[in-house]
Structure 1
Amino acid sequence: MDLRHWVGEAISSIERWEKEYGPYEVHPSLRVGDDRMGEALGRLAGRLRDNYPFFHPRYAGQMLKPPHPAAIVGYVAAMRINPNNHALDGGPATAAMEKEVVARLAAMFGYGEHLGHLTSSGTIANLEALFVARESHPGRAVAYSAESHYTHARMCGVLGVEGRRVPVDGAGRMDLDALEDLLRAGGVGTVVATAGTTGLGAVDPVHEIVALARRYGARVHVDAAYGGFFTLLAADGTPEPIDPLPWRGIAEADSVVVDPHKHGLQPYGCGAVLFRDPSVGRFYVHDSPYTYFTSDELHLGEISLECSRAGAAAAALWLTFELLPPTPEGLGRVLAAGRRAAVRWADLIESSEVLGLYQRPELDIVSFFPAAATLSEVDAASRRVMREGMDDPADPVFLSVLRVGAADLARRVPQVTADADGGRILRSVLMKPEQEAHVDALHARVEALARG
């Protein structure tokens, strides 16, 4: 895809539409000369070089990668108009697109009837889900695993809701026995299951959590901000060896959050929150003296805590889904490549003399460490490998680190002596499909760094 060509076509198409309303002159206060623009753009381009190469397979650190060209084209086209999806008078076209992409996300998770919308982030999406949880069960606590994203504890604080941490098992998944003990004790209104933890990519047994929660009268919210699109690999007939049961369990959960700006190939920020029961819309009821007048149809702001939201985000996701739909044959192929890369690297690490595998990947996160006798040595070596890799101008590699507790390390790697309360290991998210072809070279480079 020729990005420059299609961005130009997008701008031209909007310019043709603008001309239908007749000519007008740009106000003198807004005019900027080409010389000044060129100089300022040069400074911007120079400053943007102070970034890590998220686009390249060498970058195997955090959950970062550029959006798909289709998303860029869709965003640029709509941004020229700059619609606001809060109300239909702010962006009827992109509001319609948002409803369409939300319906496709709902179908991906097995929801039929639903209520939902895009958000500016997964954090805001989870805030909305926990807001509905609070309103559904006033005075009752929210339970989440010890490996869940820290946003749940923070948002419980924001909402004035008690949060209760549930221990995890040896693979970083919510411990069902501990959860049942907590539910049996009473007072829990909602359980947050995580479909792909941010640290290790562990998938909670959503189907079993739903069954337990129902037994004790609790709701279930699924945080699938990172892992949600992997449900495409759990569909019948897909060749990927991924356990389908937790993903099928999402269809029975009360709500789910997913971030298209992660595996959905979108620019930041594009999250989404979906509810299985549309009647939760009653918790959002409010009025505005200056919006919601142009149509009797649902305005997205009527079912959202956020007000202004970029309609361009909906346009970008809509155009992407037109070309790479949320199906096993569409986006599923993109995710499958990243997961194959992660599994391949885990196999290489397991046969390495200088690296050790912390936990086999369920999705596309690889966790590992330089071989050492003690946890403090693992911590120091992990930091050294990360720093030396990213600082090498000739052959750079970009990794991230993950802090793990001594008990967690001992459970997985008993041969390493736990001489500290915790320490850092190495962590790589292989979310670019190009990394499947690069993983052997990536492994060789990290091995060389580990040897010192």
Structure 2
Amino acid sequence: MSAQPFNHGEPRDHTLDACFLGPYGENDALLEKMLVEFLRDHVYWRRNFHPEDPPAIATAAAHHPDYLAFESRMRRELHQLSASLKKSVPFHSPRYIGHMASDLLLPGLAAQMLTLPYNPNNVSEDAAPVTVDMEVQVGLQLARMLGYPHDPAQDACAFGHLTSGGTLANYQALRLALALKAFPVALRAAKIPGLALPEDDWSAFNLTQADCIALLTDWQAWLVAQPAAGRSGWLQRVERERIEQRGLVDFFAAHATLKLPRVLAPVTAHYSWSKGVKLLGLGSDQLELLPTEGMRLDRDALRDTLERCAREQQPVLMCVAVLGGTEYGTIDPIDQVLAARDASRQRGLDFAVHVDAAWGGYLATLFRNEDGSLRPRDEVATDYVQFPTPAVHAAFAALGATDSVTVDPHKLGYLPYGSGAFICRDHRAMSLLAERADYVFHGGTPKDYLARYRSLGQFIPEGSKSGAAAAAVYVTHKVLPLDHAHFGRLPCATVRAAETFHARAQRFALELADCVHALVPFAPDSNLVCLALNPRGNRSITAANAFMRELHDTLRCDPQQPLQTKEFFGSVTTLRPDMLGHAQTTRIFQALGLDASSIDPDEDRLMILRHTLMNPYLIDHENGISYIDRYFEFLGRRMRAMHQAASHST
């Protein structure tokens, strides 16, 4: 990839200029004006709720010694907090290229701050009559971005809700998949007459999701048609057989021909999947991590695994594909995962396909037209040098055929923590997760889509949850619709920055070839680029890691030092031979001048730099500054200094 020339005259996107507070706080007046305006509006709302009520706090109270003492203590503690927070990581700065965090979008920041004094609790409409609807609408906004059905008038409309983060969204995916796969087995055990039930438990557990949902809706219709006097008994009969009632141990003991199901995921999958199978009670033994090719799920390994599972009658609950790995930003071949499932169905083995797009989900905006249709690859590619590869485009094009997705608005959505999201393709499955708590939930299951989910707490892992977070996401998506012409401007700028960074890294490797080996181990699929470094002449992984730790000390946040002493902030990850496989390990380690023959694949891992290029101001056309160039100039100075120090010590 050749370096892109720095174009000082490139047209400026003034929409993006209004999106953030800015690296220098340039939009402080805009944010202050909005906050004061809406704080006053909130106060007027309070005063006009029942204007006949007299003020409970007398004006004279502000002069009482106790009042003044409390105000003084409050101000003192807030000033101390403000001073302490100055040691925080400067995510807002284009000098920060470390973890998956950046500046916050003004619409979301202002919406969250505006909503906080109202303190809505999105457990139900009783506690949040406005923001619960907003959260349900957010699910539909994200569904449209992913290519899921998003019209509530459709029976098979998608559904999504917010979570504290991607980890909890992944838990919800496991929970829903297990409930849906086990339900036909429970119906068979309850011996419901008049329903077309599978002939055995294996067939019941391996129905497709569409067939499971069809059976669920048939059961619901059958139940409604029963005489009122007997309806409760039939319902209880089925509930007693469900896995949610019996628990894993008793359920699978009662259906002895079924083994505990497996969860398949690439070895690059986030550790939340290990947490999830433990939390669900499946146990770590049921999480099978599959090898990768170039840190992307190996489709041949997946097919071989599925063939083995079908042959051994080993049920598979779910296969996880990663859309933007947290370590390297790589994108799994989702289309190939779906193709493998199609082939597996011919052998009687079916499973849910979930996409962990906590990082890369919002990149889907690059592939969406304003009408929600998919953009062809050639059209998308006009804005970039190499992005998207045919494989990456095929992966995003396949999203709409998956069963559920995790997305993190607090990552590439540029919104405050914690705002994760879970989206399932067909909302009707969610009825299997419903709980009842009579003091907050009322009535039965209304047909109206929005009305059904106003008792949101029935369906989600959390109880109490912030309505302010839902307002932030909803308003942001309204201001910046989730298509390439609006929200897509943000990831477009950052993917282009990643391409520039990649090209600059290749030039850096040539410029510093006399003192260091430098390599981008995997071409970026998104806006996350890693860089491996090893001093020239060194063959030892231990020495290479010591070199990297010394370098990382200059890039990590140190609360004992003023932030201004750091020129740039970065993060590190590791290359693990057990994840890479022999061929990739040999390629990378030989390119770095390391001795690949002495590697212990279970013990040795190589530290590398990891760069998250989220900030849209990495190339500042206003002032003619490329922070990417400045970063590599900084790295070059550090490499030269460390090389000279090592030479003198020997």
Match 2:575 to one of 389, 395, 404: 404
Q: Who is 1:147 aligned against?
A: 268
| Residue among 363, 378, 397 paired with 1:230 | 363
TM-score (normalizing by structure 2): 0.66
CA contact (8 A) 2:319 2:354 kept: yes
2:550 aligns with 384
Of residues 149, 160, 168, the one that matches 1:116 is: 160
* Amino acid aligned to 2:469: A
Residues 393-423 of structure 1, C-alpha deviation per residue, up to 9 Å, x if partnerless?
4452111111112463433342332455112
What residue in structure 2 maps to residue 18 of structure 1? 46
Task: Tell me by how many angstroms 1:33 deviates.
Answer: 4.0
Residue 129 of structure 1 pairs with residue 173 of structure 2: yes
Give the match's secondary structure for 2:531.
strand
- Aligned amino acid, residue 209 of structure 1: V
CA distance in 2, matches of 1:336, 1:371: 32
1:173 equivalent to 2:351? Answer no
Structure 2 residue aligned with 1:59: 96
Which residue is equivalent to 1:74? 111
- Report Cα offsets for 1:97-151 as digits up to 9, x if no partner: 1122211110000000112211111111110001112223343111000001111
Counterparts of 2:569 and 2:138 in 1: how far apart (Å)? 33
Alignment pair present for 1:436 and 2:619: yes
Structure 1 residues 12 and 92: alpha-carbon distance in aligned structure 2, compared to 1, 3 A threshold: same
Shift of 1:234: 2.9
- C-alpha distance in structure 2 between counterparts of 1:150 and 1:321, whole Å: 29
Q: Is the 8 A contact 2:554 2:566 kept in 1?
A: no
In the alignment, residue 574 of structure 2 is paired with which amino acid? Answer: R
- Counterparts in 2 of 1:317 and 1:178: CA distance versus 1, 3 Å: same
Aligned length: 451
Q: Deviations over 1:339-379 (max 9, x none)?
A: 11111111111122243222221111110022333333331
How many angstroms does 1:440 deviate by?
Answer: 1.2
- Kept in 2, the 8 Å contact 1:370–1:450? The answer is no
- The structure-2 alpha-carbon separation of the partners of 1:190 and 1:31, relative to structure 1 and needing over 3 Å to count, comes to farther
Quick one: distance in 1 between partners of 2:266 and 2:116? 39
Q: 2:499 corresponds to which residue?
A: 343
Which 10-residue stretch deviates more, 7-16 or 72-81? 7-16
Distance 1:404 1:129, change over 3 A: same
Query: Following the alignment from structure 2 to structure 1, what is the Cα–Cα distance between the partners of residues 68 and 295?
Result: 56
Give per-residue Cα distances to partners, 1:185-244, cap 9 Å, x unaligned. 122221000001000001000011012123222210000001111112234133342131
Does structure 2 retain, via aligned residues, the 8 Å contact 1:108–1:327? Answer: yes
Instruction: State the superposition RMSD in angstroms.
Output: 2.1
Gaps of 5+ in 2: 1-26, 150-156, 183-259, 310-314, 345-349, 369-374, 621-626, 643-650
Conserved 8 A contact 1:366-1:429: yes
- Are 1:356 and 2:356 matched, yes or no? no
CA distance in 2, matches of 1:414, 1:332: 39
Residue among 86, 110, 113 paired with 1:49: 86
**What SS does the corresponding residue of 1:64 show, helix, strand or coil?**
coil
Name the amino acid aligned to 2:414: L
Q: Could you tell me how far apart the structure 1 residues matched to 2:470 and 2:111 are?
A: 9
* Structure number with larger C-alpha Rg: 2
Counterpart contact for 1:114–1:274, Cα < 8 Å: yes
Which is worse superposed, 371-380 or 108-117?
A: 371-380
2:495 matched to 1:367? no
Distance 2:92 2:632 in 1: 18
Structure 1 stretch 247-256 or stretch 418-427: which is displaced more? 418-427
Answer yes or no: is the 8 Å Cα contact 2:99–2:570 preserved in 1.
Answer: yes
Structure 2 vs 1, CA of residues 376 and 136 (structure 1 numbering), >3 Å: closer, same or farther? same
**In terms of mean alpha carbon deviation, does 19-28 or 213-222 score higher?**
19-28
Q: d(CA) in 2 for partners of 1:272 and 1:184?
A: 33
Secondary structure at the counterpart of residue 204 of structure 1: coil
Scaled by the length of structure 1, the TM-score of the pair is 0.94
Query: Sequence identity, in percent?
Result: 29
Gaps of at least 5 residues in structure 1 are none
Amino acid at match of 2:635: V
Match of 1:422 among 596, 605, 630: 605
CA distance in 1, matches of 2:527, 2:118: 37
Give the partner amino acid of 1:41. L
